Amino acid sequence: LKVINAGASTPAINLPVELDNLGSVRNLAANFLGRYDRLDVLINNAGVFPPKQRFTVDGFEMQMGVNHLSHFLLTNLLLDCLKASAPARVVTVSSKLHKAGEIDFDVFKGYEKYNSQSAYSGSKLANVLFGIELARQLEGTGVTSNVLHPGAVSTDIIRDLPWLLRKIIGMIFVSPEKGALSNIMLASDPVLAETNGKYYDQCELTDYSPQADDGSLCKKLWDVSAELTGLGG
């Protein structure tokens, strides 16, 4: 925040949240809406990649809970504010690994046999399905929804990996600054003001998994997510 504030005309505000706790997500939304009546851009960026199966405070498998459900809930809680602020944008960070993912509605509460890579790919596919379904629902509102893969970025998501592997990743992955370029582009490029329902890989428009073209699958994920997060059917 010190770095941001040093070059910004308006100070950055820190609103803490624990994304493994849906109650905390609700508190964040309430805190924001209690302070502000405008939201121009929402970037759903946080993610986890635990090597062993873990669970959220609400009992969900950690990757699906944090990487998808928390973002789903936060976006929906802030949706009216986004619409009132139109033109506005929602940007959801996924991964190209989503193309190897599958949506299994039985694993929200945990896997019988946990594989961290499969769980991550599944949660990243959920990001894409959510972002594309959101785009469909936002048509005509002045709010857009797009999804991106930032590249292989060296961030805290690797903090639970063995030390040597973290060291290697740190040498070959791109910096967080470079990884943020796609976020910045989709959040602020005037050329993309009306772009909706698209997927970008490191700033390049590309195809997402064909599963995201399955409207019934996207809608089912939306409905299940709404039920699990307490938003209704």
pLDDT in tens, 105-159: 999 999 999 999 999 999 999 999 999 999 999 999 999 999 999 865 455 555 5
Helix, strand, or coil (residue 47): coil
Non-local (6+) Cβ contacts of 211 within 8 A are 103, 125, 128, 129, 217
* Confidence label for 12 from pLDDT (cuts 50, 70 and 90): confident
Most distant CA pair in the chain, distance: 51
Q: What is the mean pLDDT of residues 18-23?
A: 98
List beta partners, residue 145. Answer: 90
Q: Choose, from 120, 199, 200, 208, the residue flagged as catalytic.
A: 120
Give the HSE-up count for residue 22: Cα atoms under 13 Å, Cβ half-sphere. Answer: 23
Q: Is 120 a known active-site residue?
A: yes
Q: Which CATH class is domain 2-228?
A: alpha beta
Query: ω before 87 within 30° of 0 (cis)?
Result: yes
User: Nearest CA to 132 among 215, 30, 23?
Assistant: 215
pLDDT in tens, 50-72: 989 999 999 999 999 999 999 99
Give 45: exposed, middle or buried? Use CB within 10 Å, 0-12, 13-18, 19+. Answer: middle
For the chain, the structural domain boundaries read 2-228
pLDDT at 182: 84
> Which residues have C-beta within 8 Å of that of residue 22, sequence separation ≥ 6?
56, 57, 58, 69, 70, 73, 229, 230
Report the pLDDT value the prediction gives residue 4, as an integer from 0 to 100.
53
CB 12 within 8 A of CB 5: yes
% residues pLDDT > 70 (the chain) = 83
Find which of 2-16, 104-118, 163-177 is predicted with most confidence, using mean pLDDT: 104-118
User: CA nearest 119: which of 59, 73, 52, 169?
Assistant: 52
